[in-house]
Each structure stands twice: as structure tokens, then as C-alpha cells.
Amino acid sequence: MTKDITEKCMQSDFKWSVTKFISIASQFKSVLDIGCGTGRILKKIKAKKRYGIDVCQAVIDKARENNNVCLGDPDFFCFDLKYLDKCWRTRVQLVYGFDIIEHFTKPHALQLLKTIEDIVTHQIILFIPVGNHPQTKDDRGFKNDYYQTHRSIWYPQDMEELGYKVWYYPNWHKSFVNKEKGAMWCQKIFKGV
């Protein structure tokens, strides 16, 4: 059942935030960030093994530039997540993705989620915009407009039907005019926690 988090009840209920997520993710030994971007969040997680995947080589280059693998920073890989089942062979305790599945058509996103379930041992955590969030341009200057395009629309019931626990924040994107219906945090637990 979706937790509809309103401004009024946010203080008394479990409240997701990036800081809270980093704290939770740091409890795992191995973490995979799908659609990792420049690795900003992955770098803050304290897991022993941290991996980031992104489709854009320029983004991966920037992630590697911002992190030092020799000093125990994350490992970054460039490939299209549509081929995760063919390219990724390491099982990890936690797989997470922020603002990623809406970049796939619904069938491709559903296949990606199935593939993730095959490589994760403990949990999946996703952050997904709810409703229509049109985007066709790269807003970070990496010239990857094709991959930044949103191709599917998601609602809490979509993720609940897939077995995820959902926290819906209707006002998450309140400062953005083009954001229809906020965002949701989705969690699927396989073991532990």
C-alpha cells in the first residue's frame, strides 16, 4: 500500500531523503548504482564494493575523474542498461537507481527490473518521478540528449504491482513547473533489513 506522504505527515512518518538513502545504502557490503551519472551519490556511500553504470561515456569519464579507484572509490562502467543481463556478472547486495527507469520504454524498463532482481541479493531502491515529466534534452552538458529523453510514465500503483513498497511524495518537485505529480521512493526487500 502506498504511503502518501504529505507535508503535514512528513514529520511523523519515515521520511526518505538522499541523506537517509546514503545512510541505508552504507549498511551494505556491495552496491550497484544504475544510471550513476557522475558518481556523486555513489561516492558518499560507505559500502566496501561500489559500482556505477551509465550509458554515456562522457558521464563515466567525469565520474572516474571525480573519483579515485586506487583509493577505494567506486568502479565505473559504460554500457547500455538494456544489456545489463549480458554485461554484468557480479551479484550485489543493493541495486539502486535515481531518475532512471522513466528513460526506458515501459517494456524495456520492466525487463531491466527483472534483470536487476537476478543480480541483487538483498534490496532494490528506486527514486522515480510520478506522472508526466517531459524531458528530451541533456540538462548537464554531456551531449547525450537521446539518453536523457523520458520514454515512460510511472505511478505508485505500477511499482506496487511489481511488489515494491512505495512512498509517494506529491510535492517533491514543487519548485519545478513541468513536474506533474511529485516523486516516489520504491523499495523491494529480498533479504535482511
Q: How far apart are the C-alpha atoms of 75 and 4, rounded to whole Å?
A: 36
Of 139, 187, 182, which Cα lies nearest the Cα of 37?
139
Interval 70-112: pLDDT, tens: 556 789 999 888 888 888 888 999 999 998 999 889 999 999 9
Q: Which domains does the chain have, with CATH numbers?
A: 3-10+22-189 (3.40.50.150)
Per residue in 111-169, pLDDT (tens digit) is 999 999 999 999 999 999 988 766 655 565 555 555 667 788 899 999 999 999 999 98
3 within 8 A of 167, measured Cβ to Cβ: yes
- Write the CB contacts of 175 (distance below 8 Å, at least 6 apart in sequence): none
Measured CA to CA in angstroms, residue 154 lies from 18, 85, 130 at distances of 20, 23, 5
